[in-house]
Amino acid sequence: MARVVRRKRVLGPIASRNSGRGRTTLEWQESLCQAGQEYADKHSLPMKFVQGDAFSPKSGDHVLKCDHAVALHACGDLHVRLIQHAVNARTAAVSISPCCYHLINDEYYMPLSSIAKASHLKLDKDNLKLPLQESVTAGQSVRSKRFVEVSFRLGFDSLLRDRLGIASYVPVPSIQKSLLGEGFERFCIWAAKIKGITLPEGIDYHGFLAHGEERFFLVEQMETVRTIFRRPLELWLVLDRVLFLKEQGYEVSLGEFCERELTPRNVLIQGKLAQ
């Protein structure tokens, strides 16, 4: 099982060290390229960091002479583009750990494999976000902060509907988490000020907060239904990549490179061009 590499300049060095072969890393941010190159030079690793746009027509040139294309947590279209370049260049090996399936240029998901193309499933960006909306890595404190914040927001919404007859949800911008500690009444005063709403006298803050908490649990139950589809949807997307590689003559294995508690984006697709 591979160690999860979080720092962007570390994936290339590990691959380079393990294989003993040279690596070219394509990265958009100049500062990351510089930091990566300094690290590689310092440790005498045969690596070259190239600043560039993976979506530019010339980006495929980097894959032409490469024997192993690797992308760890490259978002949406980025890893799809790498798969397409690798397939076009008949690259001997491909290792991909996909993430952020919703970061695509098209309005809807464009399947890669012929089987997925024949499917009636039409996925928009909101649908594609679903696999990422899980909190297996969130601890108890994050969960209880979410309970407080969402209950406050829903309680404020109940207040506006009940006391001011506002029929639709009024979105309140993100809040400094420290303000939540000052209580529901302070939150309502803050939110009303930001939205230019004058609150009436004699508000039963306690009652509206209780209502917000009740609604929180209802929202959680609705979320549970969505939850059931998270991993199956992610696997559908992953299998689309797997099938595409197979259609293009690759032997493909599918596995997990770390525990889900470390990162739920733990799928690893490995393709080897069949001889």
Rounded Cα gap, residues 86 and 106, in angstroms: 21
Q: Which stretch binds ligand SAM (CB under 6 A): 4-12, 16-24, 155-163, 199-207?
A: 4-12
Q: Which stretch binds ligand SAM (CB under 6 A): 37-45, 69-77, 174-182, 255-263?
A: 69-77
137 binds ligand SAM (CB under 6 A): no
Specify whether the CB–CB gap between 92 and 272 falls below 8 A: yes
Q: Give min distance, CB of 153 to ligand SAM, in A.
A: 29
3-class SS string, the chain: CCCCCCCCCCHHHHHHHHHCCCEEEEECCHHHHHHHHHHHHHCCCCEEEEECCCCCHHHHHHHHCCCEEEEEEEEHHHHHHHHHHHHHHCCCEEEEEEECCCCCCCCECCCCCHHHHCCCCCCEHHHHHHHHCCCCCCCHHHHHHHHHHHHHHHHHHHHHHHHHCCCCCCCCCCCCHHHHCCCHHHHHHHHHHHCCCCCCCCCCHHHHHHHHHHHHHHHHHHHHHHHCCHHHHHHHHHHHHHHHHHHCCEEEEEEECCCCCCCCCCEEEEEEECC
Among 16, 25, 27, 152, binds ligand SAM (CB under 6 A): 27
Q: Which stretch binds ligand SAM (CB under 6 A): 26-34, 145-153, 188-196, 261-269?
A: 26-34
Q: Is 12 or 111 the residue whose CB approaches ligand SAM more closely?
A: 12
Among 3, 28, 181, 219, binds ligand SAM (CB under 6 A): 28
Specify whether the CB–CB gap between 190 and 179 falls below 8 A: yes
Q: Give min distance, CB of 28 to ligand SAM, in A.
A: 3
204 binds ligand SAM (CB under 6 A): no
63 binds ligand SAM (CB under 6 A): no
Structure tokens, 43: 């440790």
Q: Give min distance, CB of 175 to ligand SAM, in A.
A: 27
Q: Give min distance, CB of 102 to ligand SAM, in A.
A: 13
Q: Is 129 or 206 the residue whose CB approaches ligand SAM more closely?
A: 129
Q: Which stretch binds ligand SAM (CB under 6 A): 1-9, 119-127, 186-194, 217-225?
A: 1-9
- Per-position x/- string for 42-61, each x denoting binding to ligand SAM as judged by CB under 6 A, each - no binding: -----------xxx------
* Number of shown-chain residues binding ligand SAM (CB under 6 A): 17
Residues that bind ligand SAM (CB under 6 A): 5-6, 8, 11, 26-29, 32, 53-55, 72-75, 78
